[in-house]
Amino acid sequence: MVIPLNETDFLKRALAVYADSEAVVCGDQRLTYGELGQRVNRWAHMMSHLGLQKGDRVALLLQNDHRILDAFFGAPQLGAISMPLNFRLVTSDYEYILNHGEPKVLIVESGLESLIEPIRQKLTSIEHFILVREGSVAQDNEGDWLDYDSLLSEASPDPVPSIEVDENDVSALLYTSGTTGNPKGVMLTHRNLYLNAMNSIIEFGLQNTDTFMQNTAMFHCNGWGLPYAVVGMGAKYVVLKKFDPATVFELMAREQISLTCLAPTMIGMLLNHPQSLPDDLPRAMRVGTAGSAPPQALISALEERFGWQVIQVYGLTETSPFLTVSKLKPAMRDEKAEERYRVLTKSGYPMLGVELKVVDDRGEEVTPDGQQTGEVLARSNVVMAGYWQDPEATDQALDQGWFHTGDIATIDGDGYIELVDRKKDLIISGGENVSSIEVEGTLYKHPAVLEAAVIAVPDDQWGEAPKALVVLKTDAEATENDLVEFCRNNLAHYKCPKSVDFVDALPRTSTGKVQKVRLREKYWSEKSKRVQ
């Protein structure tokens, strides 16, 4: 008999082997795997009593919290679909997403219910509103919200009756950022999430002796799928509610973290943290990073200052999310440091079970010379089932069995792809293609630069030209001319910024990506006004 793949397998293994081992650390809460298993069972019974059935959606509006694990492992027991929501959105975003995804239950963290109350009467599908309170006493402004912890404690800790769940059934419904229109609901199946977790175990080298720290948002692609991988191996799972460099370093030292994931902007914040570091800060820690290619300067600084090994991965929400990993092949390990770091900035080679190709505008594969560019296409069991209630967008993204990522890259003779840009972010100046990623990587090498984003702006002579938006390090100084000349000394002149604006911060998405669409809007709208 073939047993369908289901995320509950990871928890079952942990319960069978590591029931008495510490499983979760979240603030003052510490749970063994046995205790986590009972919580998950209670969650499944709680939802079943509220009428949640196979195929129903349960939405989660929570910052990083151990209760998210209840849903990640409880929903698959019922064949229900979890909908983790970005907690940094505005009320109108939630109105669209919740009415589009039509969850039956909404679980909200205390303090965030103010985002839901103004639209509560407009949310026609939701039958139960549940609040996760910080304390045990209900507040006057919490109305008739059900209490999460009370409901959970009243439910049975015994396993729920098993139901038939196909591995190709949808397990998670994750909404994209919607920077070019309404957010799209990405349908990820049990099979998608299961195989992504297996690749995470392989590529991050997870073992039961590891302690993993969740820094990235757990709503984003189910925490990159790491919850399933970490639990499956019986490792310890440390949940950090809010990212703060001082807290991160303290927690890393106290819990002796051996593996974490950090967006490039988080890496920059840790490297530029002004306070002294704990004496017992772990070295030889593995750090997964994704979201945008980390500049070479960040990778080298992280390894040389802290002794941490950087493992870059590439993927999208639509691919569960991992497609590639960037590691040194055996023959590369004796290369000079500069060349090794150069390889590690690439997006990498395909993970197990992933097929990739880079194609030009005619759909033909580019020459693997590390120079010719094209769009990255992927075919794999981690590719989504499609977009929720959007067959047209699904057909556009999934063409003849290949998922079109919208990312522009090169591929070299060793099979490493290197992202050049998103299609929409590529700068075409005087007929020449300029990679904003390449220019940003150069700017990051300047000692005064903390963050940088390069965009296309209108140019009367060249059509469009590169412009840099730069955040300087605290107490550092640099002029526009300093940075332009620095780039001209390190890049072909046509790639260099024609202008530089200094800003206090760059707008970012909830996953740490710079919102270049917002940066571009200002300059292109100004051109439109001049034309009118």
Confidence band of 200 (pLDDT split at 50, 70, 90)? very high
What are the tens digits of pLDDT across the range 360-400?
999 999 999 999 999 999 999 999 999 999 999 999 999 99
- Strand, coil or helix: 102: coil
Does 510 have pLDDT greater than 80?
Answer: no
Residues of the chain with CATH 3.30.300.30: 426-531
| Distance separating alpha carbons of residues 447 and 462, to the nearest angstrom | 30
Mean pLDDT of the residues in the chain: 91
Confidence band of 199 (pLDDT split at 50, 70, 90)? very high
Residue 150 makes CB contacts below 8 A (sequence gap 6+) with none
What are the tens digits of pLDDT across the range 49-58?
999 999 999 9
- Rounded average pLDDT over 44-53: 98
Residue 8 makes CB contacts below 8 A (sequence gap 6+) with 73, 76, 77
Positive or negative: CA dihedral 127, 131, 136, 138: negative
Percent pLDDT > 70 in the chain is 93
Q: Give the pLDDT of residue 486.
A: 94
* 436 vs 128, residue with greater confidence: 128
Q: Rounded to the nearest 5 degrees, what angle is found at the Cα of 312, between the Cα atoms of 508 and 273?
A: 55
Q: Rounded to the nearest 5 degrees, what angle is found at the Cα of 303, between the Cα atoms of 300 and 304?
A: 80
* 407 vs 508, residue with greater confidence: 407
Q: Give the pLDDT of residue 422.
A: 72
* Highest-pLDDT range among 165-174, 464-473, 499-508, 510-519: 165-174
Exposure letters 156-168 (e unless 16+ CB within 10 A, then b):
eeeebeeeebebe
Q: Give the pLDDT of residue 158.
A: 98
Q: Give the pLDDT of residue 529.
A: 46
Q: Give the pLDDT of residue 528.
A: 44
| CATH fold group of domain 243-423 | Rossmann fold (3.40.50)
Residues of the chain with CATH 3.40.50.12780: 35-187, 243-423
Does 168 have pLDDT greater than 60?
Answer: yes
Q: Give the pLDDT of residue 98.
A: 98
Class of domain 426-531: alpha beta
- What DSSP string runs through 321-387? SEEEEE---GGGTTS-HHHHHHHHTS-BEEPTTEEEEEE-TTSPBPPSSS---EEEEEEETTS-SEE
| Distance separating alpha carbons of residues 186 and 184, to the nearest angstrom | 6
Provide the whole-model pTM.
0.84
Least confident segment among 344-348, 488-492, 509-513: 509-513
| Distance separating alpha carbons of residues 468 and 514, to the nearest angstrom | 13
Q: Give the pLDDT of residue 530.
A: 45
409 touches 373 (CB < 8 A): yes
List the CATH code of the domain at 35-187. Answer: 3.40.50.12780
- Rounded average pLDDT over 91-107: 96
What are the tens digits of pLDDT across the range 400-409?
999 999 898 9
